[in-house]
Amino acid sequence: MTTYDFPQDLRDAQLALHQTRAAHDQYARTLPWSAEPMPGWEADKQLHSDYRSAKPDSPGYTDDQRREMARFRAELLELSTLVATHPFWATLERDKIVDGRMTLQHTHETPAVAQAG
């Protein structure tokens, strides 16, 4: 397994990206199912089961919820751009870039001592 000496600012940006994505996902789960006001619906009963998919009426997002979602999207875009365009990637051999990017996504899961080795 190849190890990489990721610069601390790249590691920090990747961790911030993970944390922001998790916060976004958690916040999004609290929102109505539609950003715009929409009537609810109920589908026909599924064949061979009693399952019937349905959605309640959606009031749509409030202005505050729209602003918060826009803030999350802007922050996610900024962080993902920072990670993707970091100068570190130019230091790797072309055939190691994908592996390096995949490894970076999991650096926060492993102790710092293991990363240095």
pLDDT-wise least confident of 10-14, 55-59, 111-115: 111-115
Distance from the Cα of residue 13 to its chain's centroid? 13
Q: What angle do CA 20, 67, 80 make, to 5 degrees?
A: 30
For 9-30, the pLDDT digits (tens) are 999 999 999 999 999 999 999 9
Q: Is 11 helix (H, G, I), strand (E, B) or coil?
A: helix
The tokens 């803030």 sit on which residue?
71
Q: What does the mean pLDDT of the chain come to?
A: 92
For 69-88, the pLDDT digits (tens) are 999 999 999 999 999 999 99
Domain range summary for the chain, segments of one domain joined by +: 8-34+62-116
Residue 115 confidence (pLDDT) above 50? no
